[in-house]
């Protein structure tokens, strides 16, 4: 039983990696941050990560400086943790690439030391 | 029952029965109503108990009192002797209960009248509420600041049904509330029509599963014993709500002459239960010898003294402390204050008054695996020793599952944590060997560094999305803190699902800085509990501030009017994320598990979870009920100036609300 399970995992991982490579290949040129912003809202990423990917108690920060697209794709498709997986039927590869572009476009936050309210006396 | 065989000369039941029968037949009524001064020896002729409501009877319930009492002779005859409800007021006054939040109802009209006219509407002062759930939640919030319970009166059936969720929150949060429900118990005499629909055999049944005790007194002497007993039980840790069913007839009838006036038992507080001395010694031994002890607290501190005791224990051991936030147990400014992840490396964990020990040492991932039920995994090393001090073990009931999953503990104590701490501290002092003291000090140095690093990480996380619109929850929380930091502030609501920023960033170090969460997570607690806590803070000269969620406010927004009516100053800063956000995420999660897009129906969140289209103008809602209000505020740059205005209003004694559009969490 365990072997069968592991075999499934291996096959699944190979398929997932193939999908990731396809995304990274096809998405590099097409990714559009503006479209990505709309897709980010439409697919509900904002629900746990906030509208600008800032994160919070429900989900970690995604921006600025998101993880590379292949790693993000692998995680989104195969998540078994608190985040539910988004399969391609729900979140197409192009949308995922656009979302990544949107997250990349979000400017870096200021150093907290420069924000007086985050340094109360 | 003796009360029925020894009737006063003219009582309410006879009067109402007479009214009902008079409508059917004036001649019959004349023989039913006894004249004043008549002896009890001759029983009245039997009359049916459930005649259809006549015009007069219906008027008695739904019309004005004047319509129902047009006969001056009968009116004069009713005022005979001392009303039973006056004596009840004497009993209530003996317990020094300051306020009585309540929504008025006919089943307690007699005690209501006694409270305001005989009792002078002081101790308790009647606070007009618009929903029984609001009344109970106000008492809930009040206790967490004042440390004293309030009384609330409910209509026995429909009122208690409204109150039930708030009673459940108080039960889960271990907060005493004295709930009294009016009821027309005697079916042979209760008026037909609405009063009958609003009566039941056992009104307390609806809250029995989540109250510590309840009773149905059948005489005034019984009432005085029951009321003082209820207060005493509610106020003995573990605290909890209690219920008393109060018969309308008993309230309205004059006191009968049985010789001596019924006595009022003296209230003497019961000492809380302390941990067994052997168990305390074993716990101290384990803690003293631990390489990495961790203290986890939820409702351990019942008072400011409890905070001081926890600091003593933590410093003695240089043990990291995780405050789960049921109360302000441990100063957030202390270097031993730690995130929940520190249990991972612990070799001894002591949990005090934990809601859920299992979840402290295990994790649950809602990932749809195992047939959809998710994944459980341990968060601690297999040989970690667990110690528990919890008074809740003394008061577990069967039906509602607030006791959570079963967790095996090595040293469990069914005892009150705060009451046990002095003995535990002394036992730990005795148990620490001299050769361990240097290692313990070194542990403290590591904790200081970890605390500083965690603070820096948290502040940098708060800076993310700082200028975003809608406004980030970190910005909302820190702008609010900036506006109140120079005042003696008190955060008087659940923090409003704002990523725990207040607990992570506000320098909470006093017990009143934070009142904890609702207990039962019944939505609708936040607004009324914050008004109740603000009432207590008003009397103590403190400034109350709440982070008010949108969905929570809409359960019973009438509490805003109550705050304005009774001049309860409170700054409510709205976390208006325009949705029932927990459910937004739940439905999305299930859609993902099932591999299909979520139907948004034109809103941002899945159908049935958004509060938009139309957007609620909470500032106008608050204004309509006497609050100063402003909004919607969407630009973070406008928030600081608006807060400054609002703080000035609250300092003048009024409540103020800011409707702020926010990020989801």
Higher pLDDT, B175 or B25: B175
Q: Does position B80 have pLDDT exceeding 90, yes or no?
A: no
> Which pLDDT does position B32 carry in this prediction?
34
Each domain of chain B, given as residue ranges in start order, spans 2-78, 84-252, 277-453, 464-578+615-660
Distances (CA, A) of B659 to B62, B549, B570, B616, B629: 39, 10, 14, 10, 8
Q: How far apart are CA B335 and CA B445, in angstroms?
A: 9
CB nearest to B464's CB, from A44, A61, A82:
A61
Confidence band of B358 (pLDDT split at 50, 70, 90):
very high
Geometric angle at alpha carbon B82, from B86 and B117, rounded to 5°: 45
B28-64 residue pLDDT tens: 333 333 333 333 444 444 544 455 555 555 555 555 5
Mean pLDDT of chain A: 83
Per-residue pLDDT tens over the stretch B270-282: 999 999 999 999 9
Residues with Cβ within 8 Å of B559's Cβ and at least 6 positions away in sequence, in order, are B129, B130, B131, B134, B137, B138, B527, B528, B531
| pLDDT tens sequence across B552-588 | 999 999 999 999 999 999 999 999 999 999 999 999 9
Give me the pLDDT at residue A12, please: 37
DSSP per-residue string spanning B487-526:
S-EEE-S---SSTTHHHHHS---SGGGB----SS--TT-H
Three-state secondary structure readout of B520-547:
CCCCCCHHHHHHHHHHHHHHHCCEEEEE
pLDDT value of residue B25? 36
* A60 touching chain B per CB within 8 A: no
Mutate to test the interface with B, among A112, A114, A121 (most CBs of B within 10 A): A112
Q: Map tokens 């590099």 to a residue.
A: A28
Least CB–CB distance from B465: residue in A54, A119, A120: A54
Q: Are B272 and B401 in contact (CB under 8 A)?
A: no
Residue B120 has pLDDT above 80, yes or no: yes
Q: Name the residue with higher pLDDT: B29 or B650.
A: B650
Centroid of chain to Cα B267: 23
Nearest to A48 among B456, B497, B585 (CB): B585
More reliable by pLDDT, B297 or B495: B297
Give me the residue spans of the domains in chain A: 2-109
Helix residue ranges, H only, B2-97: 2-5, 12-24, 26-32, 55-62, 65-68, 72-78, 84-93
Q: Which of B600, B291, B303 is nearest to B446 (CA)?
A: B291
DSSP H or E run through B431: helix B417-431
Mutation target among B463, B480, B482 for the A interface, most CBs of A within 10 A? B463
Alpha carbon of B470: minimum distance to chain A alpha carbons (Å): 8
Q: Do B592 and A112 touch (CB under 8 A)?
A: no
Structure tokens at B499: 């990523």
A67 reaches B (C-beta below 8 A): no
Q: Do A54 and B464 touch (CB under 8 A)?
A: yes
Q: What is the pLDDT of residues B540-553, one digit of tens each?
A: 999 999 999 999 99
Q: How confident is the model at residue A14 (pLDDT cuts 50, 70, 90)?
A: very low
Contacts of B474 in chain A (CB under 8 A): 54
Give the DSSP per-residue string, B277-338.
HHHHHHHHHHHHH-SSEEEEESS--SSHHHHHHHHHHHHHHT-EEEE-SSS--S-TTSTTB-
What is the per-residue pLDDT for B495?
A: 64
Q: Are B143 and B100 in contact (CB under 8 A)?
A: no
Domains B277-453 and B464-578+615-660 belong to one CATH topology = yes
Would you call B592 and A58 a contact, using CB atoms and an 8 Å cutoff?
no
Listed range (B20-34, B47-61, B122-136) with the worst mean pLDDT: B20-34
- Cβ-defined contact of A47 to B584 (cutoff 8 Å): yes
User: How far does A35 lie from chain B, in Å, by closest CA?
Assistant: 16
| Cβ separation B464–A110 shorter than 8 A | no
How close does chain A come to B90, measured CA to CA in Å? 50
Topology of domain A2-109, per CATH? Cytochrome Bc1 Complex; Chain D, domain 2 (1.10.760)
- CB-CB contact of B665 with A50 (8 Å): yes
Q: Which of B367, B460, B478 sits opposite A80 (nearest CB)?
A: B367
Q: How far is CA A20 from CA A32, A68, B270, in A?
A: 18, 11, 66
Which residues in chain A are contacts of B475 at CB distance < 8 A?
A: 117
In the sheet where B178-183 sits, what is the strand order?
A: B151-155, B178-183, B242-247, B213-215
- CATH code for residues B84-252: 3.40.50.970
Q: Which residues in chain A (2-31) have CB-CB distances under 8 A to chain B?
A: none
Integer Cα distance of B339 and A30 in angstroms? 42
What's the confidence (pLDDT) of residue B36?
A: 36
Predicted confidence at residue B371, as pLDDT, reads 86
Look up residue A93 and give its two tokens: 């590869």
Instruction: Using CA coordinates, name the residue in chain A closest to B506.
Output: A120
**Cα B55 to Cα B52: distance, rounded to the nearest angstrom:** 10
Nearest to B466 among A46, A58, A115 (CB): A115
**How far is the alpha carbon of B114 from chain A, nearest alpha carbon, in Å?**
51
Question: B351 in helix, strand or coil?
Answer: strand
CB under 8 Å to B464, separation ≥6 — which residues? A52, A53, A54, A55, A61, A63, A109, B472, B474
Of the candidates A47, A82, A109, which has its C-beta nearest B664's C-beta? A47
Which residues in B lie closer than 8 A to residue A59 (C-beta atoms)?
665
Copy the structure tokens of residue B16: 């109402």
**Which of A:74-113 have CB within 8 Å of B?**
79-82, 84-87, 89-90, 109-112
Q: What is the pTM (predicted TM-score) of this model?
A: 0.88
Predicted confidence at residue B496, as pLDDT, reads 65
CATH superfamily of B464-578+615-660: Thiamin diphosphate (ThDP)-binding fold, Pyr/PP domains (3.40.50.970)
B369 → chain A, closest CA residue: A80
For residues B87 and B556, give the distance between their C-alpha atoms in angstroms, rounded to a whole number. 33
Cβ-contact B578, B615 below 8 angstroms:
yes
Of B463, B497, B596, the CB nearest to A109: B463
Report the DSSP beta bridge partners of residue B293: B348
Q: What is the pLDDT of residue A22?
A: 44
**pLDDT tens, residue by residue, B503-517:** 999 999 999 999 999
Q: Lowest mean pLDDT: which of B67-81, B216-230, B404-418?
A: B67-81
Rounded to a whole number of angstroms, the distance from the CA of A39 to the nearest CA of chain B is 12
Choose the CATH number for B277-453 among 3.40.50.1220, 3.30.470.20, 3.40.50.620, 2.60.120.480.
3.40.50.1220
Average of pLDDT values for B419-431?
98
Nearest CA in chain B to A52: B465
- Alpha-carbon B486 to chain mean position: 29
Quick check: B481 pLDDT over 50? Answer: yes
Q: Provide the ipTM.
A: 0.84
| pLDDT tens column, B282-296 | 999 999 999 999 999
The string of pLDDT tens digits covering residues B610-638 is 999 999 999 999 999 999 999 999 999 99
- Report the residue count for chain A: 121
| Number of CB pairs, chain A paired with chain B, less than 8 A apart | 118
Look at residue B261 in the predicted model and tell me its pLDDT.
84
Q: Is the pLDDT of residue B258 over 90?
A: no
Taking CA–CA distances from A63, the nearest residue in chain B reads B464
When the pLDDT of each residue in chain B is averaged and rounded to a whole number, the result is 90
pLDDT value at residue B75: 53
pLDDT value at residue B493:
83
């Amino acid at each position: 039983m365990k072997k069968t399970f592991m075999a499934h995992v291996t096959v699944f991982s190979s398929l997932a990696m193939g999908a990731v490579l396809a995304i990274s290949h096809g998405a590099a040129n097409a990714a559009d941050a503006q479209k990505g912003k709309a897709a980010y809202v439409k697919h509900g990423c904002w629900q746990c990560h906030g509208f600008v990917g800032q994160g919070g108690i429900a989900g970690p920060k995604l921006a600025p400086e998101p993880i590379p697209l292949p790693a993000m794709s692998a995680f989104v498709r195969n998540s078994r943790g608190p985040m539910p997986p988004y399969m391609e039927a729900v979140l197409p590869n192009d949308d995922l690439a656009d979302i990544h572009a949107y997250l990349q476009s979000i400017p870096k936050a200021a150093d907290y030391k420069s924000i007086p309210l985050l340094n109360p006396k | 029952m003796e009360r029925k065989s020894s009737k006063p000369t003219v009582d309410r039941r006879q009067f109402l029965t007479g009214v009902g029968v008079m409508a059917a037949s004036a001649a019959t009524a004349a023989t039913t109503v006894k004249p004043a001064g008549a002896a009890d020896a001759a029983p009245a002729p039997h009359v049916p108990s459930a005649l259809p409501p006549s015009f007069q009877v219906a008027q008695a319930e739904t019309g004005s009192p004047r319509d129902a009492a047009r006969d001056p002779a009968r009116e004069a005859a009713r005022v005979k002797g001392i009303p039973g409800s006056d004596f009840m007021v004497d009993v209530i006054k003996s317990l020094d209960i300051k306020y009585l939040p309540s929504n008025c109802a006919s089943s307690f009209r007699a005690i209501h009248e006694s409270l305001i006219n005989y009792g002078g509407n002081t101790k308790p002062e009647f606070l007009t509420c618009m929903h029984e759930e609001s009344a109970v939640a106000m008492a809930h919030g009040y206790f967490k600041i004042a440390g004293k319970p309030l009384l609330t009166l409910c209509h026995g059936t429909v009122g208690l049904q409204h109150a039930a969720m708030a009673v459940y929150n108080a039960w889960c949060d271990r907060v005493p509330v004295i709930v009294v429900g009016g009821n027309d118990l005697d079916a042979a005499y209760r008026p037909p029509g609405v009063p009958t629909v609003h009566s039941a055999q056992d009104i307390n049944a609806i809250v029995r599963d989540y109250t510590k005790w309840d009773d149905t007194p059948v005489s005034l002497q019984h009432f005085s014993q029951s009321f003082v007993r209820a207060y005493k039980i509610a106020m003995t840790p573990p605290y909890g709500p209690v219920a008393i069913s109060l018969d309308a007839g008993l309230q309205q009838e004059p006191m009968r002459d049985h010789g001596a006036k019924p006595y009022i038992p003296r209230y003497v507080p019961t000492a809380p239960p302390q941990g067994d001395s052997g168990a305390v010694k074993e716990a101290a031994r384990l803690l003293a010898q631990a390489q990495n002890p961790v203290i986890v607290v939820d409702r351990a501190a019942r008072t400011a003294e409890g905070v001081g005791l926890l600091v003593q224990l933590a410093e003695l051991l240089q043990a990291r402390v995780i405050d789960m936030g049921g109360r302000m147990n441990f100063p957030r400014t202390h270097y031993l204050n730690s995130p929940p992840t520190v249990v991972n490396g612990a070799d001894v964990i002591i949990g005090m008054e934990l809601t859920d020990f299992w979840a402290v040492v295990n994790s649950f991932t809602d990932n749809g695996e195992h047939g959809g039920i998710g994944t459980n995994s341990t968060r601690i090393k297999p040989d970690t020793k667990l110690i528990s001090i919890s008074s809740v073990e003394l008061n577990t009931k069967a039906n509602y599952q607030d006791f959570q999953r079963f967790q095996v503990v090595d040293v469990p104590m069914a005892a009150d944590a705060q009451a046990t701490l002095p003995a535990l501290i002394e036992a730990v002092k005795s148990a620490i060997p001299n050769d361990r003291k240097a290692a313990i000090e070194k542990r403290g140095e590591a904790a200081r560094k970890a605390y500083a690093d965690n603070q820096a990480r948290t502040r940098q996380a708060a800076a993310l999305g700082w200028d975003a619109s809608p406004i980030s929850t970190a910005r909302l929380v820190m702008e609010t803190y900036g506006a109140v930091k120079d005042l003696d502030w008190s955060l008087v609501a659940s923090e409003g699902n704002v990523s725990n920023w207040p607990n992570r960033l506000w320098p909470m170090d006093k017990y009143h800085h934070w009142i904890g969460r609702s207990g039962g997570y019944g939505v609708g607690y936040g607004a009324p509990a914050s008004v109740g806590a603000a009432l207590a803070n008003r009397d103590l000269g403190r400034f109350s501030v709440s982070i008010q969620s949108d969905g929570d406010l809409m359960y019973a927004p009438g509490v805003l009017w109550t705050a304005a009516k009774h001049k309860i100053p409170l700054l409510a800063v709205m976390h208006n994320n325009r949705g029932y956000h927990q459910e937004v995420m739940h439905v999305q999660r299930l859609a993902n598990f099932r591999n299909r897009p979520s139907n948004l129906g034109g809103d941002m969140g899945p159908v049935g979870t958004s509060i938009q289209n139309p957007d609620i103008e909470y500032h106008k809602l608050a204004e309509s009920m006497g609050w100063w209000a402003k909004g919607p505020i969407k630009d973070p740059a406008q928030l600081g100036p608006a807060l400054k205005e609002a703080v000035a209003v609250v300092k003048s004694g009024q409540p103020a609300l800011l409707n702020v559009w926010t990020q989801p969490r």
